[in-house]
Amino acid sequence: MCGIVGIVSHQPVNQELYDALTVLQHRGQDAAGIMTDADGRLFLRKENGLVRDVFSQAHMETLIGTMGIAHVRYPTAGCDSSAEAQPFYVNSPFGVALAHNGNLTNADVLKRDLFIQDRRHINTDSDSEILLNVFAHELMEQDKLRLTAEDVFEAVSRVHQRCRGAYAAVAMISGVGMVGFRDPHGIRPVVYGKRETPEGTDYIIASESVALDSLGYELIGDIAPGEAVFISTDGLLSTRRCAPEAQYATCIFEYVYLARPDSVIDDVYVYKARLRMGATLAEKIRREWGDHDIDVVVPIPDTSRTSAVQLANDLDVPYREGFIKNRYIGRTFIMPGQAQRRKSVRQKLNPIDLEFRGKNVLLVDDSIVRGTTSREIIQMARDAGAAKVYFASAAPPVRYPNVYGIDMPAASELVAHGRTHEELERLLGADRLIYQDLDDLIEAVRAGNTNLKDFDTSVFDGRYPTQDVDAEYLNQLELFRSDAAKDSKRRAGQPVIEIHNTA
């Protein structure tokens, strides 16, 4: 999970790219980068850290130009090298830069082919650099001194033929324009919009619609699966479906947790989808636990609030803010390393004991992944005096690894993998555990757009839409990306990197 943005404007874009990244900061806290183009000269600043820490006034003054792309990076394998920060750049042909959100499932094959067949060198372990070089090579194959929109679309078509997995990308071709494209399954989100100015029309491409809202752009729509959107340097917009058999399989976890609630993804309001998740969860409680003794509903801030409010309302049970969040601690889910995740939970949340003392409390979270946070929070509720602690998840049990850009690489690290419902209740320490049903989750999202026939639900059911993920691939993924593998490398004094780096 990363955040991408690109702008073609009639005014300098450095400040707007910066502002867009701050709005997309929830999609990545590990590194940030901006590259701009001014009359064929490219200017780059990227480094590890939050957006506010990476860019100083001096950096911003050097990022000149009316076209640019930017990226916030999500931590995956604990690699602290700023070389992994994006955007990436190659100087041939023309000068091409790219920012990417997703994960290529055939990265190893592509890396080998790029070296043997295309004579291209890959300098990092990032699959985003691989995607950039595939795209750059296919642009070169057009063998044109002056590229047209059709040439760019033809290169994207070849990218779709070669690359597998999830990728939402924005690329900048110096002196030519900017292109945004999305994999044929549309797994990771990307939208585009426009803004009318006295000088002409400005365009933006971004991971989520909130970036457009914050900058005053009008949402045109989502880039469809397999579609590409090209904006020339003189402000002409063209679109083309570059993968003829493309169909939606949007990552449903975007609606559960990843996206901001004020975003719209594939014509579905994330906020409304989460309200519906709370409603279906309440219906399940009424159906299976009609004589419940819940005294109060307490959300685990922040993502679960929307679902928890609707659940409490439907059950006619008081809703209370029982935990106060420290705003200066990052999202626990994306903390690299299990020890750091444990430590950060109690630093991040503090209970208000009067909301727990002597009460039967239903805690509501968006999902349960590794279980570390859930276990700690349940114990915190007991320590605060709760008589009973029930726990509800707005998502089904996460039982399978994610291979499309979310850091859930090892099945053995997922608390629900291979365990029964009763075993999970005991392990988490809850008096009762309630999970959302997968069919209800799908319907909660699909109700916002009935044209969405399929979703990437692989973390819940092990069904991978790209159909190229087998047991051998998952075993290799666990071998290189599990916390145990990372800890082993750290103890040996080796750098912690990935073979399949999740953008």
Judged by phi (left if over 0) then psi (alpha if -120 to 50, else beta), residue 186 lies in left
DSSP 319: B
Residue 154 has which token pair? 């033809």
Residue 496 has which token pair? 């912690």
Q: What angle do CA 123, 124, 129 make, to 5 degrees?
A: 85
Distances (CA, A) of 456 to 166, 406, 442, 466: 10, 12, 10, 9
Identify the CA nearest to 153 among candidates 176, 175, 174.
Answer: 176
Q: Is 242 a catalytic residue?
A: no
End-to-end CA distance of the chain: 6
Is 197 a known ligand-binding residue?
A: no
Are the C-beta atoms of residues 43 and 375 closer than 8 Å to each other?
Answer: no
DSSP letters along 375-414, please? Answer: HHHHHHHHHTT-SEEEEEESS----S---SSSS---GGGS
* Amino acid at residue number 104: L
Q: Return the SS3 of 433.
A: strand
Identify the CA nearest to 362 among candidates 393, 398, 332.
Answer: 393
Q: Which of 2, 79, 242, 251 is catalytic?
A: 2
User: What's the burial of 53, exposed, middle or buried (CB within 10 Å: 0-12/13-18/19+)?
Assistant: exposed
* Amino acid at residue number 291: D
* Strand pairing class (31-38; 218-222): unpaired
Is 303 a known ligand-binding residue?
A: yes
Distance CA 97, CA 164 (A): 20
Sequence-ordered list of residues with C-beta below 8 angstroms from that of 156, at least 6 positions apart, any chain: 135, 138, 179, 181, 228, 242
As annotated, the binding site for Mg(2+) includes 303, 365-366
As annotated, the binding site includes 303, 365-366
The residues annotated as belonging to the active site are: 2
